[in-house]
Amino acid sequence: MRAYRSSLLAPTLIVSLLVIVSGCARNADSIERKKIAGIVFQEDQFFRLVLFGMRTAAAEHGVELLEANSAGKPDKEIQLINTYIARKVDGIVVSPLSAKASLSALARAREKGIIVVTYNTTVDGNVASAYVESDQRDLGRSTGREARRYIEQHLQGRATIGILAFLSQAPEQSTARTDGFKEEVLLLPGVTIVAEQDAWLAEQAVKKAGDILTAHPDISLLWAANEGGTIGAVMAVKNAGRAGKIAVFGTDTGEQIADFLLSDDNILQAVTGQRPFEIGSLAVESALRILEGENVPAVTSLSGRLLSRSSPAEVRAFKMELQKLSR
C-alpha cells in the first residue's frame, strides 16, 4: 500500500517541482535582465543610426533598451532622466544637451547607483563612467585637407571661404570642428575666411548661406560643420544659380548627403562623417561592461569617415550600408 501511494504521488511531485523550477528560472531571468535607457536629442539620420546601434547591442546581450528622444529640450531631458531614476534602470546612455545644464540630473542618477555613459556630447565632472565620441577636431581637419587639395588643384591656391557653424546648439563640438577645418585650409596663404554664421537645421542654413553669398559675391567655397548646415549650403548655392562656381564641403553624412556627392551638379565635393552605428553600440556595450565590473576607457574617440565626389564607388557603398542598417 505504501509503495502504491508513493508511485501515485511521484508524478505530482515531479510536475510541482518543474513548475517551481520554471518559476525560479523566470524570476532569475527577470532579475538578471538589465535595463538600459538610451536617450537621443534629435530625429535625424545620425541619431537614428545611433539608436540602431544601441538596439543591436542590447539584442545581442539580452538587455531591455528603453528608448527616448528629448527633442532638444532641456526640461524634457531632465524629465526623462528623472523618470528613468524612478524606474530604477541599470544604466543611462545619453548625448547630453549641455555640458553644464545636464549635469545635475545625471548626477542624481549616478548617486542612485545608475551607470551613466555619454556619447557624442558629455557633461562636466566625473558623472559619466565612460564617453564615446568621434574626434571632433579630426572631423573638421579631414574635410579641411580635402578642401585644401581642391583649392590647390582647381583654384590656383586661392579661395574666399564662408563657414556655417552651430555654436548655439553645441559650442564645444562646433568649435572643435571649425578649428580643425581652419587649421588645414589656412595653411594656404591665398585663403581668406570672410564670413562665419551659425546654423543647425537645413532650413536655417539655406537662409544663412544665402545671406553669405549675397554679402560676399566673390566667395568660392562654403564649409558647414554639420549635416543640416551642409544640406543648406548646397541648396543655397543651387538656388543662387552658382552650381559649378562655388564648391561646398561639409561634416556629417547621410543618405541625402550621399546623393549630393553623386549628383552631376558638382556642388558638394567632400564630407567627413561620424560612425553613429558604432557609437551607439559601443556606448551600450560600455555600460554593460561597467555593470559587470570591467574597466573601460574613460574616453573612446572614433575616427571619421571621408566621402568624396572623387570616389563615387565608396559613396555608393556607404548608401548600401545605410539601407542595410535602416531595415
Q: Which helix (H) or strand (E) holds 25?
A: helix 2-32
Continuous H helices in the chain = 2-32, 45-60, 74-86, 103-111, 136-154, 171-185, 202-215, 227-239, 255-262, 276-291, 312-325
- Give the whole-angstrom CA distance, residue 115 versus residue 51: 18
DSSP 123: -
Helices (H), 167-275: 171-185, 202-215, 227-239, 255-262
* H helix and E strand count, the chain: 11, 12
Q: Which pLDDT belongs to residue 326?
A: 65
Alpha carbon distance 296, 315 (integer Å): 33
Amino acid letter, residue 223:
W
Query: How long is the chain?
Result: 327
User: In whole angstroms, how large is the CA radius of gyration of the chain?
Assistant: 25
CA–CA distance, 59 with 55 (Å, rounded to integer): 6
For residue 66, the SS3 value is strand
DSSP state of 164: E
Sequential pLDDT tens for the chain (327 residues): 333 333 333 444 334 434 444 444 434 344 468 999 999 998 888 898 899 999 999 999 999 999 999 999 999 999 999 999 999 999 999 999 988 999 999 999 999 999 999 999 999 989 999 999 999 999 999 999 999 999 999 999 999 999 999 998 888 889 999 999 999 999 999 999 999 999 989 999 999 999 999 999 999 999 999 999 999 999 999 999 999 999 999 999 989 999 999 999 999 999 999 999 999 999 999 999 999 999 999 999 998 999 999 999 999 999 998 888 766
Give the C-alpha separation, 201 to 119, whole Å: 21
For the beta carbon of residue 313, count every other beta carbon within 10 angstroms.
7
- Decide if 213 contacts 243 (C-beta within 8 A): no
Domains recognised in the chain with CATH numbers? 30-135+276-301 (3.40.50.2300), 136-273 (3.40.50.2300)
Q: Which three cell numbers stand for residue 304?
A: 571619421
Rounded distance, CA 188 to CA 192, Å?
9
Task: Indicate the burial class of 277 (C-beta count within 10 angstroms; 0-12, 13-18, 19 or more).
Answer: buried
- 157-to-178, 190, 243, 272, 302 alpha-carbon distances in Å: 20, 6, 20, 22, 31
| The three three-digit cell numbers of residue 101, written as one number | 545644464
